[in-house]
Amino acid sequence: MGVVEFYNQLLKMIRREGGALIYALTVITIFQSIIKISRKKSSYIILLIMMLVISMGNYFNADYLVYERMYNNAEYSRLEPVFSLLMALGRTIGLSYHQFAVMVILIGFIIILSSIKNKNITNYVLLAYLFYPFLLDVTQIRFF
């Protein structure tokens, strides 16, 4: 099988299986990378970049359209006050919902990293976070 045929087969699988295949391949790659370079202090950057890539391409979850509707309509001010304030700020500066979601995710990652950065276990904490809470945080963005 040539490279082009492999690429075409991979694209067909991605279209058919959706984001689950991409996520599984990413997790496997990240896990192997962390095992190989876990002794390096900067190796958490690779894991963080992969998590950002996963979260920024997150269009296919069940809550995406609901949150987009909430973002575009001001009538949802009964939500959590801080999240409502962030949504109003995002609309004021002209962000689309996806740009707003990326901003919230980046703020969340900054908070997580600032709490564990000086520890020697940063790689392992991020890897553990990737396997369970990350999936919920990316889907249910207001709880991030």
Domain extent, residue 123, equals: 3-143
Number of domains in the chain: 1
**How many H-runs (helices) and E-runs (strands) does the chain carry?**
8, 0
Residue 50 · residue 29 · CB < 8 Å: yes
Span 38-73, pLDDT tens digits: 556 566 676 777 777 777 766 677 778 888 888 888
Classify residue 101 by burial, with Cβ atoms within 10 Å: 0-12, 13-18, 19+: buried
CA separation for the pair 85, 100 (Å, rounded)? 12
pTM of the model: 0.65
Classify residue 123 by burial, with Cβ atoms within 10 Å: 0-12, 13-18, 19+: buried
Q: For 1-144, where are the E strands, in sequence order?
A: none
Span 93-142, pLDDT tens digits: 998 888 888 888 888 888 888 887 766 667 777 777 777 777 777 777 77
